[in-house]
Amino acid sequence: MKKIFTLGEIVVEIMANQKGQLFTQDGIWKGPFASGAPAIFIDQVAKLGEQAAMISCVGNDGFGELNIKKLQSDGVDISNISIINDQTTGSAFVTYHEDGSRDFIFNIKNSACACINEEMVSQNILQDCDHLHIMGSSLFSKTIFNTAKKAIDIVKQNNGTISFDPNIRKEILHSPGVKDALLFILKQTDIFLPSESEVTLLTNTDNEKQAIDYYLNNGISSIVVKKGNKGASYYSRKEFFDISPHLVKEIDPTGAGDCFGGAYIALIHRGLTPRTALTYANACGAIAVTQQGPMQGTSTLEQIEKFMQQEKN
Ligand code: ATP
Ligand code: MG
């Protein structure tokens, strides 16, 4: 069976206990939770029963162990996750505002994640890979960008496909080189998975339709736009459709997009139609926001089907 790979950051997430809680004040913090956008994505792929592997680094510490155990128990191949003795596992602190927006403090660039390098990627490591997923949040250094480039080259040479979720946090967008890196990956992309606010971000237009046309005319075969509590939209040269959202009580939105993306790519990989894959992904994203902790929101096929069935009744 062919494998879906991703590469990028593994972190723990530590979240504010209350909405409106500030980074500058005393407060109660919850966690650590297993996290990192590509890690959540690949955990969701494995939970749906597709072969899944991740290339990453963690420190030789409890935060790394927590993540590795979670990924491994959910079925992710962790043999390409290195444990770096003199580095600590990455972390992200998150606080939520009353209007639903979030602020993050990331410790990624100076963590074990920064040790991800080109030597961790080879024809041999990627021999079973027929799909590679890249998160924009992972392109935080030249070295990791070069690693992603090398992996893309190998997967494309082997006739594999690439999916890309820009997953741009305002905290990293203006870091040197990040925008150029995102544009480069976009050119290699087959399946593009932006949030609604990211649809036009990497084009010269503010018009969503023009941006979609541009992508479809420049090598991208399908685009899935994630719209939070408004559901999602699908675009290809052949068809366009919207998927209505499920009505759920939002507990923790972080990670919903990654669960959604993991479910969509896993089910497309399995050979389902875009409409069916998207129906499951939409439910998977909705379930994710009802769970506290980003990677706690990943679901099995049975859980997604049970949720969809309950909605029908
Ligand atoms: P993030 O900001 O974490 O990167 P994202 O923009 O990548 O998130 P979202 O659009 O928030 O992703 O969520 C992905 C999908 O999950 C949505 O397209 C939708 O299908 C589902 N979803 C997310 N939030 C909700 C919600 N509150 N109610 C119902 N479904 C939701
Ligand atoms: Mg996202």
Q: What is the pLDDT of residues 152-200, one digit of tens each?
A: 999 999 999 999 999 986 667 777 788 899 999 999 999 999 999 999 9
What pLDDT was estimated at residue 171?
66
How far does the centroid of ligand 1 lie from the alpha carbon of residue 258, in Å? 9
What global pTM score does this model have? 0.96
* Rounded CA Rg of the chain: 18
Residue nearest to atom 7 of ligand 1 (CA): 257
Which band of pLDDT confidence, cut at 50, 70 and 90, is reported for residue 313? confident
Residue 180, judged by CB atoms within 10 A of its CB (0-12, 13-18, 19+), counts as exposed
Separation CA 267–CA 277 (nearest Å): 5
- Cis geometry, peptide bond prior to residue 32 (ω within 30 degrees of 0): yes
Q: 157 CB contacts (<8 Å, ≥6 apart)?
A: none
User: Ligand 1: which atom is nearest the Cα of residue 243?
Assistant: 20
Q: 180 CB contacts (<8 Å, ≥6 apart)?
A: none
* 90 closest CA partner among 69, 118, 109: 109
User: Ligand 1: which atom is nearest the Cα of residue 232?
Assistant: 18
Model pLDDT for residues 68-109, shown as the tens digit of each residue: 999 999 999 999 999 999 999 999 999 999 888 889 999 999
What pLDDT was estimated at residue 1?
59
Torsion of CA 61, 119, 109, 7, to 10 degrees: -80
To the nearest whole percent, how much of the chain has pLDDT over 90?
A: 88
Alpha helices in 193-273 (DSSP H): 208-216, 256-269
Strand order in the sheet with 232-236: 81-84, 51-59, 3-7, 129-135, 161-165, 191-192, 222-226, 232-236, 240-243
Residues framing ligand 1 (Cβ under 6 A): 167, 195, 226-229, 231-232, 245-246, 248, 250, 253-254, 256-257, 260, 282, 285-286, 289
Residue 20, classed as helix, strand or coil, is coil
To the nearest whole percent, how much of the chain has pLDDT over 70?
A: 99
What pLDDT was estimated at residue 254?
87
Model pLDDT for residues 224-275, shown as the tens digit of each residue: 999 999 999 999 999 999 999 999 999 888 899 999 999 999 999 999 999 9
Total structural domains within the chain:
1
What pLDDT was estimated at residue 112?
98
Residue nearest to atom 1 of ligand 1 (CA): 257
Q: Which residue from 229, 248, 252, 311 has its CB within 8 A of the most atoms of ligand 1, so it is best to mutate? A: 229
From the CA of 230, the nearest ligand is 1
Instruction: Give residue 138's domain range.
Output: 3-312
- Does residue 143 contact residue 13 with C-beta atoms inside 8 Å? no
Residue nearest to atom 9 of ligand 1 (CA): 228
Separation CA 47–CA 33 (nearest Å): 18
Q: Which two tokens mark 97?
A: 């505002």
The CATH number of residue 297's host domain is: 3.40.1190.20
Going by their DSSP bridges, the two strands 191-192 and 81-84 should be labelled as unpaired
User: Ligand 1: which atom is nearest the Cα of residue 282?
Assistant: 20
